[in-house]
Amino acid sequence: MQFALSWDLLRGGIKRGDEQLARLALDDVQAQRADLMNQLQLQVTQAYDNLASAREAGTAAAAAQLNAEKSYAIVRRRYVEGQAIVLELLDATTRQTTAQLARVIAGYDVFIREAELRQALAAE
């Protein structure tokens, strides 16, 4: 009888130890899950901020393109009237082309940032 009693006590201690280990493992998994959720939320926030910045850059690029086109029109008219040299016309053409290219690049950047936001939201 004494052996049976100590065996039951020993088994009870082992069971409590196993329960503690299981609780600790559960706590660890829950902490990892919370960390992962925080990381995902941070990715979504960063992706949203990046998209907002890209849209602002796109707006600025559109305004720069409009200004370059107006400048080109003025210089071209002056050139046709003989009041500007070809170098001024070429410079205005280059600025207009550069502004157009910057606007296209800004547009693609918006598309990329939108895709990154969708990807971050899908991961969440």
What is the arithmetic mean of pLDDT over 81-96? 98
What pLDDT does residue 29 have? 93
Phi, psi of 81 (to 5 degrees): -80, -5
pLDDT class of 18 with cuts at 50, 70, 90: confident
Read off the tokens for 123: 């991961």
What is the arithmetic mean of pLDDT over 4-11? 56
CB distance 64 to 105 below 8 Å: no
CA distance 58 to 50: 12
CB distance 92 to 76 below 8 Å: yes
pLDDT class of 16 with cuts at 50, 70, 90: confident
pLDDT class of 22 with cuts at 50, 70, 90: confident
pLDDT class of 6 with cuts at 50, 70, 90: low
Q: How many distinct structural domains can be found in the chain?
A: 1
Q: Which domain holds residue 67?
A: 2-123
Mean pLDDT of the chain: 91
What pLDDT does residue 33 have? 94
CA distance 115 to 60: 21
pTM comes to: 0.73
Distance (Å) of CA 124 to CA 3, 41, 113, 120: 55, 7, 17, 6
What is the arithmetic mean of pLDDT over 12-26? 80
pLDDT at residue 121 is higher than 60: yes
List the one residue out of 93, 99, 94 whose CA is nearest residue 76: 93
pLDDT at residue 86 is higher than 90: yes
